[in-house]
A = this chain, B = another copy of it.
Amino acid sequence: MKNTFGNVVTVTLFGESHGPAIGAVVDGLPGGIRIDEKYIAARLTQRRPSGRISTARREPDSYEILSGVFNGYTTGTPLCIIIRNEDIRSKDYEDISRLARPSHADLTAMYRYGGFEDYRGGGHFSGRITAALVAAGAMVMKALEDKGIYIGTHIKSCGGITDREIADETDLRVLAETDFPVLDAEAASEMERIILDAAKDGDSVGGVLETVVLGMPEGVGEPWFDTAEGMLAHAIFSVPAVKGVEFGAGFGITRMRGSQANDCLRTDGKKIYTETNNSGGINGGITNGMPIVFRTAIKPTPSIFKEQRTVDIKKGENALLRLKGRHDPAVVHRAGVVINAVTALTLADLLAARYGADWLKTGENK
């Protein structure tokens, strides 16, 4: 429903880039999920612009939990977490405020909200809002890890450079510690060079993210509409800059024959597994116990410093736009942690829908 997602474990996002605060309400969690504050802070650090290739905006991103946590555990009642906006320089945006930035939401926001939208810095459409999503997702992601479910994302390709495959849980741990999530060191430095080259040109690049979930229980998802793929895709398309989502072999499967595409089944007497995983861990909308694998297309950051043709949406006239201010030449390396967050929230929702919210509990009843 609108700015809320989920059936059982729900997340509601609020906030504008240049308003007092951004935040999220997570509802439907059971009492008894341990809250690991360092883990949340680490995820926020990963999302935060840093290093050579990110925007100069510096937000400490210190969050505050307003409700729903008591003595270090979730209470089971709605959890509100907020992050104050501090480093706000609205002036940067003022002179261009009514020149719609191409491939941004400036124009569509005006269509949708009739001119009442907070247009400063993209308002509610800003990538800034994803900090709240990451904070909310981190709490749930930690609970899933405590249950043996691990989520990780790497840059599969960027500027023609390809990373190696995610092999196992160790790789996921490595990705959880880095702010440029690429496993192959050489590929990583190549990609960074490509991003910096674009930055020098006042331009930007995109890339493909690949997410792997290990340890996901089988039997989760619904046959129609609330399929595991449909729920994940629904959430993922909220992440700014996403233009495509594919599961398992994805678009590549359209070039296979059925005999290549089908995942043959085997059992070792205890567990049933598939020989290949072209299905990406999901059949008929329901998890099959194999790793969930999907890829996400991240477009080049639309904020570039080259001159662009656009329209002054206040005056209704053609105009030229040359952006100033701080902008990333790429967000693909920062988007992974956001994808992880929405994946965690979606899987927690699906698990709670299947097994009841108490399944997510990590502490003992008192």
Question: Does A21 count as interface, using CB distance less than 8 angstroms?
Answer: yes
- Determine how close the nearest CB of chain B comes to the CB of A60; give it in whole angstroms: 17
Within 8 A of B (CB), among A239-268: 240, 242-251, 253-259, 261-267
Asked if A163 is at the interface (CB within 8 A of a chain B CB), the reply is no
Q: Which residues of B contact A115 (CB under 8 A)?
A: 31, 365-366
Of B32, B77, B229, B302, the residue contacting A223 (CB under 8 A) is B77
Q: Are B261 and A306 in contact (CB under 8 A)?
A: no
- A100-B248 Cα distance, complex, nearest whole Å: 19
Report chain B residues within 8 Å CB of A234: 225, 230-231, 233-234
A13 CB–B CB distance under 8 Å: yes
**Residues of chain B within 8 A of A245, CB atoms compared:** 233, 244-246
| Cβ–Cβ contact B261 & A73, under 8 A | no
A262/B198 in contact, CB under 8 A: no
Complex Cα distance, B312 from A204, in Å, reads 52
Chain B residues within an 8 Å CB radius of A4: 1, 4, 10, 12, 27, 225
Q: A309-B275, A316-B267 are in contact. Are A118 and B75 (CB under 8 A)?
A: yes
Interface string of A176-206 (1 = CB under 8 A from B): 0000000000000000000000100101111
In the complex the two chains form, what is the Cα distance from A66 to B103 in whole Å?
27
Q: Which residues of B contact A303 (CB under 8 A)?
A: 258
> Does any Cβ of B come within 8 Å of A164's Cβ?
no
A117 CB, min distance to chain B CBs, angstroms: 5
**Is A238 part of the contact surface with B, judged by Cβ < 8 Å?**
yes
Residues of B with C-beta under 8 A to A279: 103, 243
A1 to B275, CA, bound (A): 33
Q: Known contacts A13-B78, A27-B2, A261-B300: does B67 contact A124 (CB below 8 Å)? A: yes
A231: chain B residues at CB < 8 Å are 234
Q: Could you pull out 27 A-B pairs where Cβ atoms are within 8 angstroms?
A: A2-B27, A2-B226, A3-B223, A14-B79, A15-B67, A20-B65, A21-B66, A32-B113, A70-B118, A76-B112, A77-B118, A102-B262, A108-B282, A108-B286, A112-B223, A114-B358, A115-B366, A116-B363, A160-B255, A203-B258, A206-B256, A225-B235, A233-B237, A233-B245, A238-B285, A261-B302, A278-B299
Known A-B contacts: A104-B283, A107-B272. Give 7 more (CB < 8 A): A23-B67, A76-B113, A103-B262, A205-B257, A231-B234, A233-B234, A254-B299
